[in-house]
Chains A and B, each alone.
Chain A
């Protein structure tokens, strides 16, 4: 295992502090570089091959999927799977459901966490510290504890089989991690800024909306991305709360596609074609906003470092 030396070497080389030592390690480095790329290619393959496999299945005919031994590439390319597959689970409907649920959860989760973070970081009120610790502490509370009582609560107020249990919690501070991140971010903004705004006659609402929200864009964009992932990918909550298949989001719809109900074999080629469409929104967001992912999670790593 030669990782640490290479690390030191790499930093020394790029820093360019000791040009004299450069020629010496040249030969072993060449061999090192080759094995390095073998490992790198292996890692990439493990991550990407399943996705490529998914796409080829999505392009095979419904019977070719069950060929033994399986062929790696389809011999007839069945593009119609991308039409018939989505039709089979009423994809447009479930897609719209997912979109509405996710949009509202993102809005609620980000807004209320930013508000709480603003209060905790920049306003003085009795119990400020206590509330901060309560929020941070609640991050450790396992979600399973809420499963049954909340199910009963929602059922008793007529929210079972509606989207409300999936949306309303977001508007109540939803994710304590977001409150924590928002507070950290607000703490870093100079206080002279809101003093100046106050002198100009701005109230707290005005300061929050027109001064703080523009300044904290990276923070709430990161949260919005994470909230999107969480809501779009959530399976357990919609599974528990939604009975009518017309109200399902894609996660539950896709899972029902392959559950061996009534002993029927799932249509894997239909499924894989549709699966690709289901993955598309998070994929697009991921590639569009990569740096926010790394930044947001990096901040998480370093704040916990203390």
Chain B
């Protein structure tokens, strides 16, 4: 190749300079800085005071809200992630068929994903109102038991998850793309062999899309661990601490309202607890992925 290498390099750095600068400012700097802040007492006005692991000690031993926050976050993840994957895959398989109107179903299923979170979450907040909400009205007319939904401490988190699941079209669209990349010869061969629907699903479909399933497990889990909008708008953490997830706790410690003093160091320590959990989830999922994702050598 007879290119002018010198001008290429200069041009390359000019083209990529904004993104490089962005990387240092938005990835490098926050990583270092938030780790340092996690080890300090800091109100955002006076200088940070180094306290070592003091914040973490306080989190795990004396803070009455931290364990409930961890518990709520865990509950949300355990409830949301499997349901979103199963529903998303089922919906994708349904929408992968050919029948008149399949495009309408696909479009409508994806629609909630493009709508603003604030708009849809507040809409659901009203639909879940125990007295005048649509859900209880429908249940009542069908003669079914109604629920307190967001206002009951036992039903609040499942209700939050219900609202999140309305956006399952996001998962569906990724699975749909994966399903469409599975070679149709495999299905034809299975049909010739007279394979049952279940064995076609478990021996062809699932293994062929397993890399995408793995990716979705990681992405959905890390996203679910950082859920903020739904609990913030629907319940603001209540009733009690039932939906006070870690992100909400971080937000309330770092950016408090009504003149309370921000505890940025303490909030940073919580950020790092969340960060370590996310890294651990990614590492564990990736480590055990070889057990169940498809590779050419397995049978």
Q: Which A residues are closer than 8 A to B by beta carbons?
A: 1-12, 14, 33, 36-37, 39-40, 43-44, 46-51, 53-54, 57, 65-70, 72, 112-113, 115-116, 118-120, 123-126, 128, 131, 134-135, 138, 140-153, 155, 169, 171-174, 179, 198, 203-205, 208, 229, 232-233, 235-236, 240, 250-252, 254-255, 257-258, 268, 271-272, 275, 278-279, 282-283, 285-286, 290, 293-294, 297-298, 300-302, 304-305
Interface: B295 (CB within 8 A): no
Instruction: Give CA–CA (A135, B19) in the complex, Å.
Output: 9
What 5 A-B pairs have minimum CB-CB distances, sorted nearest first? A301-B177, A173-B19, A172-B22, A149-B33, A125-B12
- Taking a contact as CB atoms under 8 Å apart, the answer to whether A155 and B44 are in contact is yes
Residue of A2, A128, A275 with most chain B CB atoms under a 10 A cut-off: A275
- With contacts A10-B99, A125-B9 known, what are 19 further pairs, Cβ within 8 A? A3-B197, A5-B191, A9-B191, A40-B94, A67-B132, A115-B15, A115-B18, A119-B11, A119-B13, A124-B8, A141-B31, A145-B34, A146-B27, A148-B264, A149-B37, A204-B15, A254-B122, A271-B122, A301-B181
Q: Which B residues are closer than 8 A to A by beta carbons?
A: 3, 5, 7-9, 11-13, 15-16, 18-23, 25-27, 29-31, 33-34, 37, 44, 91, 93-94, 96-99, 101-102, 104-105, 107-112, 114-120, 122-127, 131-134, 137, 140, 166, 169, 173-174, 176-178, 180-181, 184, 187-188, 190-191, 197-198, 200-201, 204-205, 211-212, 215, 222, 225-226, 228-229, 233, 247, 250-251, 254-255, 264, 267-268, 271, 274-275, 278, 282
Give the residues in chain A near B187, CB-CB below 8 Å. Answer: 4, 7-8, 11
- Taking a contact as CB atoms under 8 Å apart, the answer to whether B247 and A144 are in contact is yes
- Taking a contact as CB atoms under 8 Å apart, the answer to whether B264 and A174 are in contact is no
Q: Given A4-B200, A173-B19, is A142 in contact with B105 using a C-beta cutoff of 8 Å?
A: no
Identity of the chain A residue whose Cβ is nearest the Cβ of B202 in the assembled complex: A4
Instruction: List 6 contacting pairs A-B, 8 Å CB cutoff, sorted by A.
Output: A50-B127, A172-B26, A240-B251, A258-B122, A285-B114, A286-B114
- Choice from B119, B177, B205 contacting A4 with Cβ under 8 Å: B205
Instruction: Give CA–CA (A67, B137) in the complex, Å.
Output: 11
Instruction: Give CA–CA (A59, B27) in the complex, Å.
Output: 47
Give the residues in chain A near B104, CB-CB below 8 Å. Answer: 44
- Taking a contact as CB atoms under 8 Å apart, the answer to whether B110 and A8 are in contact is no
Give the residues in chain B near A150, CB-CB below 8 Å. Answer: 26, 30
Give the residues in chain A near B3, CB-CB below 8 Å. Answer: 124, 198
Give the residues in chain B near A113, CB-CB below 8 Å. Answer: 19
- Taking a contact as CB atoms under 8 Å apart, the answer to whether A48 and B197 are in contact is no
